[in-house]
Structure 1
Amino acid sequence: MAVENASAEHGFSVSVDNGIAHLTLERPQKLNAVTAAMWQALTTSLEELSADERVRVVIISGDGGNFCAGADIAEFETVRRDAHTARNYEALNAASFSAIRNCAKPTIAMISGVCFGGGFGLAASCDLRIAAPDARFAVPAAKLGLGYPVEAMADIVASTGAQMARYLTFSGARIDARRALECGFLLEIVDMDSLVPRAREIANSLAQAAPLSIRASKASIAAALSGRPEDTIRAQELGDITFESQDYAEGRAAFRERRPARFIGK
């Protein structure tokens, strides 16, 4: 079971309500910048949410009006000072991105304010992204003189397109919510007052859908993007499981009986 209400210890909190998990980064004084310890704890919590049978959808957001300013640069003199320590550090944030990307449940990034660097990586690894009009996006690696990890770059290319990925990472430029919507990074822009209700509305609609079907679709999309044979095999296996499931029988029965289906994820 995922850790809930763990903000004091980990820098974020997790709550689960009616099948929807809400993971909130809670370092508002640092614009929710993520420490090395937080990367580790985030990975553990996200993996637990993926396995938690109560959870159908995961929403990720930031406290205090900002999503996430990225990795906490104040730590870089020690945890990311050279190639060796950088590799170890990048393994931490790559694991968090992977935990989101490979989560068995659909993930939604709910973005306001800054979404920079590692924060952009967190959002890019989510399945869906919605934002308030004040959201600002950047990948400032070139302004810091560091390279962006390959695995995380794949999420940026998949979510923005190759040309925008080049622009963002080569220049370190900031783009606004409208530009992020135009390049496909955002699903939609929502007024600030409507951001939380809209995120929950989307989450509720996904929570009512068949979990095994969503899991198979996530795998198929990932395989289409990666082109790796092993990903295709995994997607086919998950697709096969749906046809042997109770939910497939329930979906057919609900269609015949003209009623909403009641999916249990089995």
Structure 2
Amino acid sequence: MKEIEVRGAGDGVVVVTLARPEKRNAVSLAMWRELGRLFRGFGGDAAVRAVILAGAGGHFSAGADISEFAALRSGAEAARAYEEVADGATAAIRDCPRPTIAAVSGYGVGGGCGIALACDLRVGDATTRMGIPAAKRGIVYGPPDTGLLLRAVGLSAAKLILFSGRLLDAAECHRLGLLDVLAPEGSALRAAQALAAEIAANAPLSVAGAKLVLEAMARGEAEARAAEIQAAIGRAVDSADYREASRAFLEKRPPVFVGA
């Protein structure tokens, strides 16, 4: 069994599953590398309209595989090399042009919480438990993961999560903003699939453009990326999908978008 499984869920939705249930899907260095490769590749695949990141066996991910640390993070230089790979995977998820959804059942802790935060949206259920126990392990979280936490929950909540290192239940995760959607128990993946299907049914150029603009604004890069944003707006207006949307509206039927 592969540690990461990829399958299509229909209508352009891809499900990426962390598949180490015996370790609550703790992420190995090899898995960090594969996550980076996969999510960088999705951006160039026009057939992909949305990506769901999930975990096997009732849990999302218990974080990085600490059992590897003695061998792979034995000193400052080795730790930096490890973090470069892990941060690269997180950045690939965050920067994927396709909309991304984390289906967080069970534990989404530490690095597992980080990769969930790298996704555009997070769906949980009554089993969800999330947190970042860095303060309990003598670790200082760096800017990449801390920045994702900050923009999801705000300054005060980020301080609460990092200072306390506590494990938060599903209701508290939803209240603070770690989860965007709270589904009934055991149905995080089903709810994520329903949300992904809803997104995938919309015009791909419009969704991609919205993500581009929102991310640029969130990072304070809207002015620097003005030409890129304007080009995305122009592509959407000149697209066959734009014309299809107008026809469908007049004909009182759902539009059928092709992403061009």
Alignment TM-score > 0.5, same fold: yes
Secondary structure, aligned partner of 1:192: coil
CA shift for structure 1 position 251 = 1.4
Q: Any idea what the Cα deviations from partners look like across 1:205-264, whole Å, max 9, x if unmatched?
A: 111001111111111111121112434543333223212222112112222222211111
Structure 2 CA distance for partners of 1:106 and 1:86, relative to 1, 3 Å: same
CA shift for structure 1 position 165 = 1.3
Alignment of 1:164-183 (within 5 A): 164-183=157-176
Distance in structure 1 (CA, Å) of the matches to 2:32 and 2:189:
24
The worse-fitting range, judged by mean Cα deviation, of 173-182 and 251-260 is 251-260
Letter of the 1:12 counterpart: I
| Structure 2 residues without counterparts, runs of 5 or longer | none
Question: Paired residues, what number?
Answer: 258
Match of 1:106 among 87, 99, 111: 99
Distance in structure 2 (CA, Å) of the matches to 1:38 and 1:91:
13
| Structure 1 residues without counterparts, runs of 5 or longer | 1-6
Letter of the 1:199 counterpart: A
Distance in structure 2 (CA, Å) of the matches to 1:218 and 1:157:
18
Alignment of 1:87-236 (within 5 A): 87-228=80-221, 229-236=223-230
Aligned to 2:53: 60
Please tell me whether residue 32 in structure 1 is matched to residue 10 in structure 2.
no
Q: RMSD of the TM alignment (CA)?
A: 1.6
Q: Give the TM-score, by structure 2 length.
A: 0.93
CA shift for structure 1 position 114 = 0.7
Distance in structure 1 (CA, Å) of the matches to 2:24 and 2:189:
19
Structure 2 CA distance for partners of 1:188 and 1:146, relative to 1, 3 Å: same
Letter of the 2:191 counterpart: R
Q: Any idea what the Cα deviations from partners look like across 1:162-205, whole Å, max 9, x if unmatched?
A: 21111212221111111111112212211234333322211111
**2:127/2:186 contact within 8 Å kept:** no
Secondary structure, aligned partner of 2:102: strand
Aligned to 2:6: 14
Please tell me whether residue 43 in structure 1 is matched to residue 36 in structure 2.
yes
Distance in structure 1 (CA, Å) of the matches to 2:237 and 2:146:
34
Secondary structure, aligned partner of 1:170: helix
Letter of the 1:34 counterpart: V
Specify which structure has the bigger relative contact order, considering alpha-carbon pairs within 8 angstroms and separated by 6 or more residues. Answer: 2
Letter of the 2:23 counterpart: K
Distance in structure 1 (CA, Å) of the matches to 2:225 and 2:72:
33
CA shift for structure 1 position 38 = 0.8
The worse-fitting range, judged by mean Cα deviation, of 169-178 and 62-71 is 169-178
The worse-fitting range, judged by mean Cα deviation, of 119-128 and 52-61 is 52-61
Distance in structure 2 (CA, Å) of the matches to 1:61 and 1:117:
15
**1:24/1:62 contact within 8 Å kept:** yes
- Residue identity over aligned pairs, in percent, reads 36
